[in-house]
Structure 1
Amino acid sequence: MSKKKKQKEKQQKKSFREQKLPGWMEDAEVLDIHRKAPMIRTISEVVYSQIIGKREARQLRMTVLIPDTGAAKPAVLFFPGGGWLGAAKDRFAENRWALAEAGFVVATAEYRTIPAGFPAQVVDGKTALRFLRAHAADFEIDTDRIGVMGNSAGGWLAEMVALSTHTREWTSAEWGDESEAVSACCALHPVSNLIGIGEGLDPDAVAAHDSESSPEALLVNGVSFTGRGDGPIASVPEKAEAASPAGLLIRKPADVKAPPFLLIHGTADRMVSPAQSAHMAELLKEAHVPFRYYLLEGVDHSSDPAWYQEPICDLIVKFFEKKLGD
């Protein structure tokens, strides 16, 4: 039988089979789809915390991406940056979606910003972590495999949460019975030390960070309605160290194990000095904490499209696959 005749018979058999399909008609084009990836469910505006003040109540929310497999999965909790002045929780969508497609539950949480001062942000970050564990069944989370991630001020918060798991100093009553353990931390162009954020940047950026009205100064000193603050961040080194991941790492008890870190910083960052991540990597090395440190040549801060490209997404995914794997 000729090749042409075989193809004709094969097509006739296929057409006969397709005619038996429900909904078939002569002009229908039949596609056979291979189901290699689960649907990703998105649950938005999940309230994870309510803070009741003297004059108002504030609800803090998160968005959760869930690969719909029906089985417990590792999770990554993401904190967005914003210079402690904003925490738009649905940023860095490309990176978060890449993690979800790789099989991770991905939650992104907003948190209190200035005028709320330190340690409100860390309290919120740890509350979000405990909330995920308390609702592990709802979100299909394996509670033994949870990592944290953030960019800029969100990277600061991820590092603060990851390095304070041994203390309940900043633990609220909400979901208070749950563990605050973190298995891995990824920080993108993070602030790791509140002093020196402008190191090596242009003079205008240095002056902005040296001001008593800089976000980092307002974070630790509070907002003054009299116009008289406690000075720039460098004038309160003890406060700055207490509110810095570098300070937490330096003061970490010897018997406390810190999770592995992934640090990524752009060499052209105009807002947070790349020296921040270099100094943090040195401290991690001295403390014998496993880490990987990547410099992105010519890359700026969060608005640079480089952060959302496939190679960066893959780098983040592979880190969490290795650290949160079975």
Structure 2
Amino acid sequence: MKILSLCSFALLTSLFSASSIPAAAQTAAPSPLEILKSLPPAIPLWPNGAPGARGDTEADKPRLYAFPPQTKSTTTAVLVIPGGGYAHVSMGHEGIQYARWLNAQGVTAFVLDYRVAPYQYPVEIQDGMRGMRYVRSHAADYGIDPNRIGVWGSSAGGHLASTLGVHGNDAPPLPEKSDSIDQTDARPNFMILSYPVVSMQPPIAHTGSMNNLLGEMPYAQMQQKFSNQLGVNAQTPMTFLFATTGDPTVPVENSLDLYRALERAHIPVELHIYDYADHGCGLCGSIPELATWPLLLRNWLIHENWLPTDAPPMPPAAPNYPFWPPGLDGPGKPQP
């Protein structure tokens, strides 16, 4: 894979007027149950039971949802990891909606539905690694290139995604229920991180994500290990970052520190910070000040050769999928 030397730091304040934003779709966003009914069949990550499972309920069964595009324009694929503070999984606006956006440009997407609290480390990270390994080991089945698989994580999903990119196959060791899939590389070829949690160390850590993953009194060495800006290395893949200066939930310093670490390591990185205060807006189609960011992402994907220059045009901005109540998010949600 050709790696381009691209390091750009863009502070976007008022570069785009509301008139430059694609017109929002007029149809209303679907309800949570409508979204559930549109899900493809679930792919269990471990058909015979997940490692560390505490029971046999839906909440104990991590899974993937595959979203192949109607018209494929590339052999690139993306594993989408929704956020939720390691407390729930925001499958709608940070999962399925991302997958549909990728599909519209001919990209195959997979959405990860992983275990969350009361599960703690290493379970969530094992689920993330297994998701990437499943996609890569089944690349031929989906007509994708195993060397063109990215990861897209938001908020706490951004922490899990960046853990895959920074630690690769080393965090954590293989689970006890290891098989041939677990011998596959878990490191993505590129990362897309939306308003991500990156650090597990105060003062910039998101306390809820840290406590849910590592416990309320985490060991300092674990906080350091999973402060992913500290672990960037030559194998860390190229990265696209999107954040807002006034993020009220995850300090923008998470993105800034990761950007600086990637730049020091000479890893291609592009960072876009909007002068706005928001967290968890997904594609942000309902917020004119932020709705341009997916276009910047598309341009980056084309520039880095993950999308062809003649990829289908980006669809118009659409209303965000609703924020689901926790009972409808993540493993254990009611089935349609």
TM-score of the superposition, structure 1-length normalised?
A: 0.70
C-alpha distance in structure 1 between counterparts of 2:282 and 2:112, whole Å? 22
Match of 2:76 among 61, 74, 77: 74
C-alpha distance in structure 1 between counterparts of 2:229 and 2:280, whole Å? 22
CA deviations 1:96-145 (Å, max 9, x no partner) are 32221111101110112122112221111110011112222332222110
Match of 1:44 among 38, 41, 46: 41
Does 2:133 align with 1:152?
A: no
Give the equivalent residue in structure 2 for 1:202: none
What one-letter code is carried by the residue in structure 1 that aligns with 2:198?
S
Give the equivalent residue in structure 2 for 1:178: 184
Does 2:309 align with 1:306?
A: no
Match of 2:195 among 179, 189, 196: 189
Aligned length: 258
> Identity of paired residues, percent?
22
For structure 2, list consecutive stretches of 5 or more residues without a partner in the other structure: 1-37, 309-336
CA contact (8 A) 1:63 1:89 kept: no
SS at match of 1:238: helix
TM-score of the superposition, structure 2-length normalised?
A: 0.68
Give the equivalent residue in structure 2 for 1:134: 137
1:305–1:177 distance in 2 versus 1, CA, 3 Å:
closer
Match of 2:266 among 265, 288, 295: 288
C-alpha distance in structure 2 between counterparts of 1:43 and 1:157, whole Å? 23
Give the equivalent residue in structure 2 for 1:237: 220
CA deviations 1:214-238 (Å, max 9, x no partner) are 44134213xxxxxxx63xx6xx432
CA contact (8 A) 1:118 1:243 kept: no
C-alpha distance in structure 2 between counterparts of 1:132 and 1:166, whole Å? 15
CA contact (8 A) 1:270 1:301 kept: yes
Give the equivalent residue in structure 2 for 1:321: 302
Give the equivalent residue in structure 2 for 1:85: 87
CA contact (8 A) 1:90 1:108 kept: no
What one-letter code is carried by the residue in structure 2 that aligns with 1:216?
M
Within-5 A mapping of 1:160-309: 160-165=163-168, 167=170, 169-172=172-175, 173-174=178-179, 175-196=181-202, 198=204, 209=207, 214-221=208-215, 230=217, 236-249=219-232, 252=233, 256-303=234-281, 306=284
C-alpha distance in structure 2 between counterparts of 1:71 and 1:300, whole Å? 33
What one-letter code is carried by the residue in structure 1 that aligns with 2:170?
T
CA deviations 1:49-69 (Å, max 9, x no partner) are 331557523321222211245
CA contact (8 A) 2:248 2:277 kept: no
C-alpha distance in structure 2 between counterparts of 1:168 and 1:239, whole Å? 11
C-alpha distance in structure 2 between counterparts of 1:168 and 1:98, whole Å? 30
1:262–1:220 distance in 2 versus 1, CA, 3 Å:
same
SS at match of 2:65: strand
For structure 1, list consecutive stretches of 5 or more residues without a partner in the other structure: 1-40, 200-207, 222-228
What one-letter code is carried by the residue in structure 2 that aligns with 1:86?
H
C-alpha distance in structure 1 between counterparts of 2:285 and 2:200, whole Å? 23
CA contact (8 A) 1:299 1:306 kept: no
CA contact (8 A) 2:193 2:242 kept: yes
1:68–1:118 distance in 2 versus 1, CA, 3 Å:
same
CA contact (8 A) 1:127 1:171 kept: no
Answer 1 or 2: higher relative contact order, Cα 8 Å, separation at least 6: 2
Structure with greater Cα Rg: 1
SS at match of 1:141: coil
Within-5 A mapping of 1:82-121: 82-92=84-94, 93-121=96-124
What one-letter code is carried by the residue in structure 1 that aligns with 2:105?
A
Q: Hey, which of these two has a bigger chunk of strand by percent?
A: 1
- Deviation, 1:190, is 0.6
- Deviation, 1:94, is 3.8
CA deviations 1:190-220 (Å, max 9, x no partner) are 1111113658xxxxxxxx94xxxx4413421
What one-letter code is carried by the residue in structure 2 that aligns with 1:150?
G
1:70–1:89 distance in 2 versus 1, CA, 3 Å:
same
